């Protein structure tokens, strides 16, 4: 299967093609998983939105313009789910730390336990004997995509039927999904396992799978049975308390600065680049940070293409005084690398769109003491969409959902 093109133009073309189906048709058909290469009832825009080659605001605006807010309500809600997950994790960063540290412990246990290692290998290879699960495992690895319903079914079978460690399953997704996002992926798996909404685990049901795959799969109910207990007991202390959104340092004009481009936001032309005294541009890849295990080459290729496209679109803004700043690809292999690179160029500030919780944020946290010691400011832009949506992501999705009309009427569509 041909890999999708990771640039803004390809994302806009896909958005245009799906636009007629964003209204009532999406509402009626969005839960149907027709199989690999047949996901026509859903937009499949998520890899582009993940990197903000397309922004949530412009996708929502396109749906409303084409269908109206009422007819496109289900599609709009799905876009807001991403903002909800991002904001929820930003306000409970300890949950990301638990996942990261817990995954390290799970992988160490995997190395020690040959029986568990063999069971995980069968599941990852799609060799469990559960036809639907095995097909989804192969589709994930071969295409880098799964229908949202299939992701929930897969996670449920992984956790409750196969009784495998949930973080290793989440890691499998993050290593292979083109749209893999630390917040959506971690919290989606936690929701299935009964850890996100405590006491409400998601169960894959044979009848639901048969109906929503159009009869492609007809598992037996006893084939999926794994008991009714969620995993709440694995976190006896419950959810950590809410924390305020992390404060950002605003970029300052007039000081020698570098622009840092990452896959967290590849639409840099939305930001006031002309206000900066730009002396350097750095491109930082992060796909390899997703996991201690190998990340799918297709994920890395998609990221690299997205970053290349981001640089190309801001090329006019990088031209000053008759010369053009050339983007340098850097690797933060040591905590002091970024500070040394910036100091060698006489820079006083590094500016980037906001870096949310996840492996790239972890790497930059490690770099921050070295930047501070070199008197180099790390400054970020946070989008209006995030500023508007994230503060409401304090409990379940309903708190965000009930505010969607007001959010649409205010800053989100600007």
Q: pLDDT band at residue 155, thresholds of 50, 70 and 90?
A: very high
Averaged over 27-39, what is the pLDDT? Answer: 95
In what order do the strands lie in the sheet containing 327-330?
Answer: 327-330, 277-284, 256-261, 349-353, 377-381
Quote the CATH superfamily of domain 97-232: DNA Cyclobutane Dipyrimidine Photolyase, subunit A, domain 3 (1.10.579.10)
Distance CA 204, CA 318 (A): 51
Per-domain boundaries in the chain = 8-90+389-409, 97-232, 256-382
Residue 162, beta-bridge partner list: none
Q: How far apart are CA 23 and CA 21, in angstroms?
A: 6
Confidence class for position 320, pLDDT limits 50, 70, 90: low
pLDDT at residue 5, as a whole number: 95
Contact 366, 392 (CB under 8 A): no
d(CA 174, CA 195): 19
Tell me the percentage of the chain whose pLDDT exceeds 70.
Answer: 97
Q: Which range has the top average pLDDT, 117-121, 236-240, 323-327?
A: 117-121
CATH topology match: 97-232 vs 256-382: no
The pLDDT confidence band at residue 411, using thresholds 50, 70 and 90, is low
**Rounded to whole angstroms, how far apart are CA atoms 392 and 399?**
6
How many angstroms separate the CA atoms of 380 and 147, rounded? Answer: 33
pLDDT at 414: 45
Exposed, middle or buried by CB within 10 Å (0-12, 13-18, 19+), for 232?
middle
DSSP 358: S
How many CB atoms are located within 10 Å of the residue 44 CB? Answer: 16
CA atoms within 13 A on the CB side of 316: 2
Mean pLDDT of 226-253: 86
Mean pLDDT of 13-38: 96
- Alpha carbon 148 to its chain centroid, in Å, reads 13
- Cα distances from 146 to residues 32, 141, 173, 264, in angstroms, run 12, 10, 9, 21
What pLDDT is stored for residue 284 in this prediction? 96
Least confident of 132-146, 186-200, 346-360: 186-200
* Angstrom distance (rounded) from CA 350 to CA 391: 26
Choices 3.40.1000.10, 1.10.1240.10, 3.40.50.620, 3.40.50.10540: CATH for 256-382: 3.40.50.620
Q: How many Å apart are CA 7 and CA 52, to the nearest integer? A: 10
pLDDT in tens, 118-142: 999 999 999 999 999 999 999 999 9
Average pLDDT over residues 314-327: 77
In this structure, are strands 327-330 and 277-284 parallel, antiparallel, or unpaired? parallel
pLDDT, position 323: 60
Tell me the per-residue pLDDT of 350-375, one tens digit each, with 9 for 90 and over: 999 999 999 999 999 999 999 999 99
Question: Could you read off the pLDDT of 264-296 as tens digits, one per residue?
Answer: 999 999 999 999 999 999 999 999 999 999 999
Q: Average pLDDT, whole number, for the chain? A: 94
**CA gap 90, 95 in Å, rounded:** 9
Nearest of 4, 16, 84 to residue 402 by alpha carbon: 84
Alpha-carbon distance of 346 to 343, in angstroms, equals 5
Q: Directed axis angle between helix 359-373 and helix 337-344, to 10°?
A: 50
Q: Which CATH class is domain 8-90+389-409?
A: mainly alpha
Beta strands 327-330; 349-353: pairing state: unpaired
The arithmetic mean of pLDDT across residues 57-67, rounded, is: 96
Q: What pLDDT is stored for residue 117 in this prediction? A: 97
Span 311-336, average pLDDT: 84
> What secondary structure does DSSP assign to 150-187, as a single string?
HHHHHHHIIIIIS---HHHHHHHHHHH-TT--HHHHHH
Confidence of residue 227 (pLDDT cuts 50, 70, 90): low
pLDDT-based confidence at residue 322 (cuts at 50, 70, 90): low
pLDDT at res. 385: 95
Q: Is pLDDT at 13 greater than 80 in this prediction?
A: yes
């Amino acid at each position: 299967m041909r890999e999708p093109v990771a640039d803004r133009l390809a994302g806009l073309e896909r958005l245009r093609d799906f636009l007629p189906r964003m209204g009532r048709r999406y509402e009626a058909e969005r839960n149907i998983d027709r199989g690999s290469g047949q996901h026509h009832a859903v937009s499949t825009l998520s890899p582009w939105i993940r990197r903000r080659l397309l922004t949530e605001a412009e996708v929502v605006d396109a749906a409303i313009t084409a269908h109206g807010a009422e007819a496109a309500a289900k599609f709009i809600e799905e876009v807001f789910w991403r903002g909800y997950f991002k904001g929820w994790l930003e306000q409970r960063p300890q949950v990301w730390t638990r996942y990261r540290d817990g995954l390290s412990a799970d992988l160490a246990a995997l190395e020690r336990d040959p029986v568990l290692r063999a069971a995980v290998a069968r599941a990852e290879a799609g060799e469990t004997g559960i036809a639907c699960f095995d097909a989804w495992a192969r589709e994930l690895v071969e295409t880098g995509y799964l229908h949202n319903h299939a992701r929930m079914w897969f996670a449920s079978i992984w956790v409750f039927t196969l009784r495998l460690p949930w973080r290793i399953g989440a890691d499998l997704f993050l290593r292979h999904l083109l749209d893999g996002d630390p917040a959506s992926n971690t919290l989606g798996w936690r929701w299935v396992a009964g850890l996100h909404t405590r006491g409400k685990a998601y169960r894959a049901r044979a009848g639901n799978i048969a109906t929503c795959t159009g009869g492609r799969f007809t598992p037996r109910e006893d084939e999926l049975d794994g008991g009714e207990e969620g995993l709440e007991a694995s976190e006896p202390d419950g959810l950590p308390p809410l924390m305020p959104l992390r404060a950002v340092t605003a970029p300052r004009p007039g000081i020698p600065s570098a622009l840092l481009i990452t896959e967290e936001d590849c639409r840099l032309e939305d930001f006031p680049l002309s206000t900066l005294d730009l002396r350097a541009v750095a491109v930082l890849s992060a796909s390899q940070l997703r996991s201690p295990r190998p990340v799918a080459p297709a994920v890395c290729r998609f990221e690299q293409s997205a970053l290349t496209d981001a640089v190309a679109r801001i090329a006019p803004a990088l031209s000053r005084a008759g010369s053009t700043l050339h983007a340098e690809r850097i690797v933060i292999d040591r905590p002091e690398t970024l500070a040394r690179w910036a100091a060698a160029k006489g820079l006083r500030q590094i500016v980037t769109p906001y870096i949310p919780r996840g492996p790239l944020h972890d790497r930059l946290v490690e770099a921050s003491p070295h930047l501070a010691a070199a008197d180099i400011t790390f400054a970020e832009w946070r989008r209006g969409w995030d500023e508007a949506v994230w503060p409401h992501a304090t409990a379940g999705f309903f708190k965000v959902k009930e505010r969607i009309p007001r959010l649409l009427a205010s800053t989100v569509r600007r």
